[in-house]
A and B are shown apart, each in its own frame.
Chain A
Amino acid sequence: MARKISYKQAINEALDLEMRRDPTVIVLGEDIVGGAGAPGEIDAWGGVLGVTKGLHAKHGNRLMDTPLSESAYIGAAIGAAACGMRPVAELMFLDFMGVCFDQILNQAAKFKYMFGGKAKTPVVIRAMVGAGFRAAAQHSQMLTPMFTHVPGLKVVCPSNAYDAKGLLIQSIRDDDPVIFCEHKALYGSECDVPEESYAIPFGEANIVRDGKDVTIVSYGLTVHRALDAAEKLAKTGVQAEVIDLRTLSPIDWDTVIESVENTGRLVVVDEANPRCSIAGDVAAYVAQNAFGALKAAPQMVTAPHTPVPFSPVLEDLYIPSADAIAAAVNKTTARALAA
């Protein structure tokens, strides 16, 4: 039965249900229980923003607080996955991947390939992404393109609580390493989520709004900005279709192409920095494979090519806004309107 819960609760519920279903599922990370070796109340923290709170009481030592060494525990999680467990490691901020990138890039992503398909690495690495949290340049990045660049990794970034639960369950059941990106600004957002377990297949984008004039493609927080833009545009007579990619590797090219074939116009919205971004990837793919359908040049709306500013005023300007998205849409329709 469906009821409204938050994105954060949906992630907690997915972990709880999968731990109940499968005894090989374990959860490890910094402060996910109570702080490693620290005196005081167990389960005081439940992770830096409390996502895993309450799980220790239900599953005990299958949740492990780790030392403050990402290279150690991400490596441990990957090794445990190679040995038959299904670990879910929480890395706090995706920004911290730098210190454990060999384990992810050269180990987890390569095992299946280098052992001739005989090895599997069913590990999930959960991490927060995105700006808007006043957490400055080292805790706010949208580094998704760094992971989509690596074959062998699956990359997921849900935009709502329903998808967060179903995609995390699918991530845990999947036999490949999954980078599960949680937008911290969405943790409080609520929607209808079934109480039961369900898995959303990878590589299936969600059409969140139907429209015939322009296709807006996005993922994560900016899906909501795109919807705000579509609402504004509707008042000016422009019907925007909004596609939430949901998973970036694999990516649902078919849905994007089909939509552009109907609308003839493409705007891609990405909170990542512009160079070699998801936006650039989608725009290039559409230009190459649906050029004949395009009535205008694809537009990209991204963060600027700068670190995320600490100044609240500048940080708010950094994330693609509904106005910027609407302006990009208007660029794609300008020729038609002038004609």
Chain B
Amino acid sequence: MNERIKPIVMPKWGLSMSEGKVTGWLKPAGTKVGVGDEIVEVETDKIAGVVEANEAGTLRRVIGAPDTVYPVKALIGVIADDDVPDADIDAYVAEYATHAAEEGEAEEAGPRYEFVDTPAGRLRYAKRGDGEPNVLLIHGFGGDLDNWLFNIDALAEAGTVYALDLPGHGQSDKAVKQASLAGLSTAVTGFMDALGIGRAHLVGHSMGGAIAAQTALDHPERVASITLIGSAGLGEEINSGYTDGFVTATSRRDLKPVLEQLFHDPATVTRQLVDDLLKYKRLDGVDDALRSLSEALFAGGRQSTVLAEALKGADTPVLVVWGESDRVIPAAHAGALGERARAEVIGEAGHMVQMEKASRVNELLLAHLKA
């Protein structure tokens, strides 16, 4: 096959994804594209997302038809330079084999989730990659490890990546023994102890960012660096309409507008995303966990703990990433550490910037991890 011809394929966002629907092309055939350019919108039963170009060149073929479902890895487009003859591209398309059905792949990726017993309870986690350094991804309030769906595999090229469900979240035990930043930070170091992780780069989103920062302040020897994404702990403001709404919503109708505040593009919130979160929120113990955390961390619409000054006095390297249109924690907090940290504010992204602008966030993270 001609190595100058690059395929665009139906992505695989998480092990449960076997197919996806092309919902629309953002670039017409013939357009020049650069790495990271958004090319085509794809929707799964879980989430709507955008496929970005992995290669620079011209979008020579648009194959995936809108509103049509394709298996993972099916060819939906072709990128090549202008001087590659059409005949070569046609031959490439004709020969392209869909290897979605290849059996070994799911096994090769290992089990999607594992569990470990820690002093903070039984915690679920995902692990990707191997070798040094260790990277630990910490989700935010009401989130779970799938918030890193678009990041965990990309980061695995740098080392061993872990993503955990915090106590009270995802499929971890629902009892939160210590509903405080210190308590959650202890849960994180307990998790590292249980898995024999001595030192790790902590990447935290929202409340998870504050946990990462707290851990770096309390145990600097165990934290190689921190990345704070749309992070709590850098200022007092927080959108109580979001936090209270998330805690109190019991129906799809109440929860959907709350979740829409998480994204720059509210259409990202599919019915399945809302249903999955409702299923989580209905589990016994979750309501208590969320209420106690909300009360401890952001009662009355103010964050109870601001770590910015303490972080300025610490040595741990810090990267700050924010979505410009974050409606949960204002992007102005990205500058809270001043010269102390590299701060990147990404346009057309909301609070879930690591999902909405995954390739940019992954690029920043990989550079930060290698620095």
Contact = CB atoms under 8 A, between A and B. Distances in A.
Nearest to B282: A198
A234 to B, nearest CB: 10
Given A1-B171, A207-B271, A210-B271, A254 B282 contact: no
B282 A166 contact: yes
Contacts of A199: 282, 284
Contacts of A206: 275
Contact of B283 (A196, A204, A258): A196
A254 B253 contact: yes
Interface string A181-225: 000000000000010111111001011001000000000000000
Interface string B193-237: 000000000000000000000000000000000000000000000
Interface in A201-259: 201, 204, 206-207, 210, 254-255, 258
A200 B253 contact: no
Nearest to B281: A198
B279 interface: yes
B174 interface: yes
B40 to A, nearest CB: 21
B248 interface: no
Contacts of B124: 1
A197 B285 CA distance: 9
B284 A197 contact: yes
A79 to B, nearest CB: 29
Contacts of A166: 282
B31 interface: no
Contacts of B271: 207, 210
B279 A207 contact: no
Contacts of B253: 254-255, 258
Instruction: Give the size range of A's interface with the partner.
Output: 10 to 19
A206 B251 CA distance: 10
B343 to A, nearest CB: 38
A198 to B, nearest CB: 4
Contacts of B250: 201, 204
Contacts, number: 33
Contact of B279 (A198, A201, A210, A254): A198
Contact of A196 (B251, B252, B275, B284): B284
A33 B160 CA distance: 53
B283 A194 contact: yes
Interface string A16-40: 0000000000000000000000000
Interface in B246-287: 250-253, 271, 275, 279, 282-285
B287 to A, nearest CB: 10
Interface string B141-180: 0000000000000000000000000000001001000000
Contacts of A204: 250-252
A196 B285 CA distance: 10
B352 to A, nearest CB: 22
A210 B45 CA distance: 11
Which of B124, B251, B253, B282 has the largest number of chain A CB atoms within 10 A?
B282
Nearest to A196: B283
A164 to B, nearest CB: 14
Contacts of B285: 196
Contacts of B251: 201, 204
A174 to B, nearest CB: 14
A200 B252 contact: no
Q: Among A198, A201, A207, which residue has the most Cβ atoms of chain B within 10 A? A: A198
A255 B275 CA distance: 14
Contacts of A201: 250-251, 282
Nearest to A254: B253
Contacts of A258: 253
Nearest to B124: A1
Nearest to A200: B282
B238 to A, nearest CB: 27
A207 B252 contact: yes
Nearest to A166: B282
Nearest to A258: B253
Nearest to B270: A210
A258 B251 CA distance: 14
Contacts of B275: 206
Interface of B: 124, 171, 174, 250-253, 271, 275, 279, 282-285
Shortest beta-carbon contacts, A-B, top 4: A197-B284, A198-B282, A198-B283, A196-B283
12 contacts: A1-B124, A162-B279, A196-B283, A196-B285, A197-B284, A199-B284, A201-B251, A201-B282, A204-B251, A207-B252, A207-B271, A254-B253
Given A194-B283, A196-B174, A198-B283, 13 more contacts: A162-B279, A196-B284, A196-B285, A197-B284, A198-B282, A199-B284, A200-B282, A201-B251, A201-B282, A206-B275, A207-B252, A207-B271, A255-B252
Interface of A: 1, 162, 166, 194, 196-201, 204, 206-207, 210, 254-255, 258
